[in-house]
Structure 1
Amino acid sequence: MQSLIIAFAMYSRIPMPRADWNDKNMRYAFCWFPVIGLVIGLVTGAVFYILTEWQVGSVFRGVCLTAVPLWITGGIHLDGFMDTTDARSSYGDREKKLMILKDSHVGAFAVIGCGIYMMLSVGAWSEIDADGIRIMIMAFVLERALSGLAAVNFKGARKDGMLTAFREPARKRMVTVVLVTEAIAVACVMCYLWLPGGVLCCIGALLMFSFYYKIAMKEFGGTTGDLAGWFLQNCELVMLFLTVCSKYLFASI
């Protein structure tokens, strides 16, 4: 339970009781990361059904659905997305990119990247339907299971930082088994809820996971907390777009 509290306290704005942030309590924190995704998914689904019942416009609904994950997480993953966008856009060497990740200032490319991301997200969420929202509720869980797997198994780009603080005390084998089990379970649920959309989203998530590994190792020499946020936001957008595409490609199934 201490690990659960620490995971929610770190990766969400949901009020949590006080917990001691020591190695013992942090060893299983990543196991609870997908549960945060489930909470986000359920709240997102509830907002969708409420706004649909109220018959609000699709654009307003898209804005609200885009805002829900950011409100619950406090934007911690979007911050990583922006920092990584800045670093990759510099086209500098590995050391320069890592230096940009640590810089607290916001660059022009981060703002541009965030603006484009928000527009794409609002547009895609405005197109979501009942079948799609059920898939996306589970997608929030899947992307965090994959992110946790990367955190404990990918090489770290540096020896300090928040991701390292969570990775070092983690029981790697046990955490990996739990996260793989969670990822497989939620993938099966997605396919059960809507086979075409579920399969397409799972494939997209795995491809994004592979791309994440390639970028992290090639450009940064390993992963960081900012890169983890970059992956999470991109994986979410990829699955969202694939869910919307499924709506038109497999409308009759």
Structure 2
Amino acid sequence: MYVFTCDAVERSFNVQGFLLALQFFTIVPITRQFDLHTKNATMMYSCFPVIGLLIGCLDVAFLQLMTYTEFSALFVAIFFILLHATYTGGLHMDGFVDMGDAFFSYRDMEKRVAILDDPRVGAFGAMSLVAIVLMQLAIVHELVIGGQWLALVIVPMLVRIGALYCFSAMPLAKETGIAAFFRKVVDVKKLGITVGVMALLIVVLLSLWQLVLLAVPVVLLVATFVYRVFCVRNFGGVSGDLIGAYVTSMEVLLWFVVLLCN
């Protein structure tokens, strides 16, 4: 007789990798220490889109809950943005701020990469933050007014699939840092298969749900290509901060596409 145990679950699904994903990419307070070997690290990154799906579900659940209140659309939009950033502890927004500081410094490539590592926030980073938050506010406000926000559930997942492509396929801006460390540890081929399968599944589901929503992955595909050119030209490749900036900027772009589709 087969006895279903925790060890059996561990063999069929790498629980440690999933917990690592929660630990690295969310504010879930997991204090346990895990080994960052290839199996765990690959599963951690493979679960990145799953984390996005969970965030998307929380986003939609919050907006659905707000329909039972008398709060204004502006109030709901503000709290939506605050909660959405809170789920990840502002991890990706921090990367966007660093990218803004580096890019708008108008320095040479080597200096821009160095600015990415600077923990201080400069004037251009602050202005970039204000700009992206205002864009988030405007788009979410319109979505709340129109009541057409259900498709938002797919946006964080799609964006994180694109982020996995950035991590695994783009050249690195530097040989140090989080992205460089995990690139050496992760099984990139296995991760690539995961990205392909997830992307195909999303496209199939969207075509069955609402054909017009296929515009969302198409726009993401084009925008990811543009972002690759941008990163290579200005930074020589990607880094952890630039992947975070990708997540933040692409979410806003896809929210806008969802707004247009409705």
Shift of 1:180: 1.5
* Secondary structure, aligned partner of 2:142: coil
Q: 1:190 to 1:69 in 2, by over 3 A?
A: farther
Q: TM-score, normalised by structure 2?
A: 0.89
Deviates more, 1:183-192 or 1:137-146: 183-192
* Secondary structure, aligned partner of 2:47: helix
Match among 122, 133, 137 for residue 122 of structure 1? 137
Question: Where does residue 37 of structure 2 map in the other structure?
Answer: 23
What one-letter code is carried by the residue in structure 2 that aligns with 1:113? S
Question: Where does residue 11 of structure 2 map in the other structure?
Answer: none
Match among 51, 55, 67 for residue 70 of structure 2? 55
Match among 10, 18, 22 for residue 24 of structure 2? 10
Task: Quote the RMSD (CA, aligned, Å).
Answer: 1.5
Match among 221, 230, 246 for residue 231 of structure 1? 246
Question: Where does residue 165 of structure 1 map in the other structure?
Answer: 181
CA distance in 1, matches of 2:198, 2:29: 24
Question: Where does residue 94 of structure 1 map in the other structure?
Answer: 109
What one-letter code is carried by the residue in structure 1 that aligns with 2:190? M
Q: 1:116 to 1:214 in 2, by over 3 A?
A: same
Structure showing greater radius of gyration is: 2
Contact 1:5 1:19 in 2 (8 A): no
Q: 1:131 to 1:153 in 2, by over 3 A?
A: farther
CA distance in 2, matches of 1:15, 1:193: 35
Cα deviation 1:179-227 (Å, max 9, x = unaligned): 111122123323433221x122112211221111111111111110010
The alignment of Structure 1 onto Structure 2 pairs a total of residues equal to 246
Shift of 1:17: 5.6
Question: Where does residue 256 of structure 2 map in the other structure?
Answer: 241
What one-letter code is carried by the residue in structure 2 that aligns with 1:77? H
**1:181 matched to 2:173:** no
Shift of 1:163: 1.4
CA distance in 2, matches of 1:7, 1:22: 11
* Secondary structure, aligned partner of 2:106: coil
Shift of 1:92: 1.1
Match among 138, 145, 166 for residue 150 of structure 1? 166
Deviates more, 1:153-162 or 1:128-137: 128-137
Question: Where does residue 80 of structure 1 map in the other structure?
Answer: 95
Contact 1:44 1:69 in 2 (8 A): yes
CA distance in 2, matches of 1:216, 1:17: 34
Q: TM-score, normalised by structure 1?
A: 0.92
**1:64 matched to 2:79:** yes
Question: Where does residue 138 of structure 1 map in the other structure?
Answer: 154
Question: Where does residue 222 of structure 1 map in the other structure?
Answer: 237
Unpaired segments of 5 or more residues in structure 1?
248-253
What one-letter code is carried by the residue in structure 2 that aligns with 1:23? H
Shift of 1:13: 0.4
CA distance in 2, matches of 1:199, 1:143: 14
Which aligned runs of 4 or more in structure 1 are off by greater than 6 angstroms?
none
CA distance in 2, matches of 1:234, 1:187: 21
What one-letter code is carried by the residue in structure 2 that aligns with 1:78? M
* Secondary structure, aligned partner of 1:106: coil
CA distance in 2, matches of 1:74, 1:10: 10
Shift of 1:150: 1.4
Question: Where does residue 250 of structure 1 map in the other structure?
Answer: none
What one-letter code is carried by the residue in structure 2 that aligns with 1:28? M
What one-letter code is carried by the residue in structure 2 that aligns with 1:12? T
